[in-house]
Structure 1
Amino acid sequence: MELSVPHLPCAVRTNSSPSSSQLLNPRAFNRPLVSISQRNRFGPMEPQRATASSMVKGHGPQITAGPPLDTVGDRIGSVKRVTNETNVVVELNLDGVGSPDSSTGIPFLDHMLDQLASHGLFDVHVKAVGDIHIDDHHTNEDVGLAIGTALLSALGDRKGINRFGDFTAPLDEALVQVTLDLSGRPHLSYDLQIPTERVGTYDTQLVEHFFQSLVNTSGMTLHVRQLAGKNSHHIIEATFKAFARALRQATEYDPRRRGTVPSSKGVLSRS
């Protein structure tokens, strides 16, 4: 079964990857579609077969590794999502340098997306315009959906990746553990006890909703568990830092896997 982009309430098309300046141009919001582009780091690879000439008596098959990681391109997912409630543009580079550039109209969410970039060493560029005069709910949700879709696109067939990630991040008195599996099966187990209803103007209920949206479109199994914490800001920020490091671990390449899919099935499916 192949990976597929989840259904969104707009048209979907694949095209060549736009430049960052084109992607993040606010005038790009004028067209009612979601466009997704992907540049998979490994790209097509020849199957790694053992042949008679490669067999050495007493030593089994000799297998040649895939191409060196520094000879292949970055994995980038680009998404534009337009609805009657929001206009969201996301570019996510899994092999970036930790470049943050987020403007969602929700200052605390921007701060958390900066943590995702900085601690995951991802380039996370997000521009969103939404109906925040009502509340932050729709923009928060659609940013999560778009980031999940960009992650799905950037991962491609998921060949060679670690697949699993686990990290526990402290922030002063707060301690949060995040464990995830890029399995293709969306599931969120969320156990944060955030003591206040808001951090600044941000409704703390939206933290769970952000991660649920991201999980649904990326096909990720995600467990978030609070081990300690009393300060709402610290708990949420520790969560995003732990998520960034766990996702970085899961998306990095395992050289021993030699470009194969990390599953006994041979595929990692979105559905």
Structure 2
Amino acid sequence: MRTGRIARRTAETDILVEVDLDGTGRFDIHTGIGFLDHMIEQFSRHSLIDVTLKVDGDLHVDEHHTAEDSGIALGQAIGQALGDKGGIGRYGTAYSPMDETLVRVALDISGRPWLVWHAGFTQVKLGTLDTELIDHWFHSVAQAAGITLHVELLYGTNNHHICEAIFKGFARAMRQAVELDPRKNGAIPSTKGQLGG
């Protein structure tokens, strides 16, 4: 079973996250931020990674700590579930259309975290979520999971569509990258014999 479980408590957030990389896309998401819940649900459903995420954050301050720390904890749980990464596809790419919007996501579970973000929003908020926190959430996930992640908005105008296309593209690219390739017979997908470092 490729599963991960992270319990993370700070003065700002109390988080429990569980993932199953070989799941069916089941989710139970409660961050206290409705729009973020909706996006993480999209990630789970389209990656087929089961995700349970419960966050008690300092939303009386603002949504920054909840968004950031939920990304960190989810990334840590994914990294834990991947173990030594033996046999995984490692790379994933997805074009993600949603109505007038088209997004491209490419990633490498390399152990070398990096985020290249070529997307933006014309609204300050989606629901109650500050749109500046969206790329920050992806940065947190990529750093904690050791993912090189490239996100590019090719075109689009509706901010909800743009964000949802990004999350769905990330999901589909992750599905490719974490799936086990039987031809690899459990080998770590690197000529160095390890990923990261």
Q: Normalising TM by the smaller chain, what interval? A: over 0.9
- Name the amino acid aligned to 1:267: Q
Matched, 1:194 2:94: no
TM-score scaled by length of structure 1: 0.72
1:92 aligns with one of 19, 30, 35: 19
Query: Cα deviation per residue 1:99-154 (whole Å; 9 max; x = unaligned)?
Result: 01000000000000100111001111000001111110000000000001001100
TM-score scaled by length of structure 2: 0.98
Matched, 1:139 2:62: no
- Name the amino acid aligned to 2:48: L
What secondary structure does 1:134 align onto? Answer: coil
1:182 aligns with one of 109, 121, 135: 109
Query: Cα deviation per residue 1:147-166 (whole Å; 9 max; x = unaligned)?
Result: 01001100000001110000
What 5-or-longer segments of structure 1 have no aligned partner? 1-73
2:57 aligns with one of 130, 145, 158: 130
- Give aligned-pair identity as a percent: 51
Runs of 4+ in 1 over 3 A off after TM superposition: none
1:229 and 1:194 map into 2 onto residues whose CA distance is 10
Deviation at 1:193, TM superposition (A): 2.0
Which residue of 2 is the match for residue 173 of structure 1? Answer: 100
Query: Cα deviation per residue 1:61-103 (whole Å; 9 max; x = unaligned)?
Result: xxxxxxxxxxxxx210000010000001100110001101000
Deviation at 1:254, TM superposition (A): 1.4
Question: RMSD of the TM alignment (CA)?
Answer: 0.7
2:48 aligns with one of 121, 125, 137: 121
1:201 and 1:215 map into 2 onto residues whose CA distance is 23
Which residue of 1 is the match for residue 30 of structure 2? Answer: 103
1:205 and 1:124 map into 2 onto residues whose CA distance is 24
2:168 and 2:193 map into 1 onto residues whose CA distance is 31
1:133 and 1:174 map into 2 onto residues whose CA distance is 34
Aligned length: 197
Matched, 1:205 2:132: yes
- Name the amino acid aligned to 1:112: M
1:161 and 1:192 map into 2 onto residues whose CA distance is 28
Matched, 1:161 2:67: no
What secondary structure does 1:78 align onto? Answer: strand
Q: Which has the higher contact order (CA 8 A, sep 6+)?
A: 2
Matched, 1:257 2:154: no
Deviation at 1:205, TM superposition (A): 0.5
Which residue of 2 is the match for residue 27 of structure 1? Answer: none
What secondary structure does 1:261 align onto? Answer: coil
> Between Structure 1 and Structure 2, whose CA radius of gyration is higher?
1
Which residue of 2 is the match for residue 221 of structure 1? Answer: 148
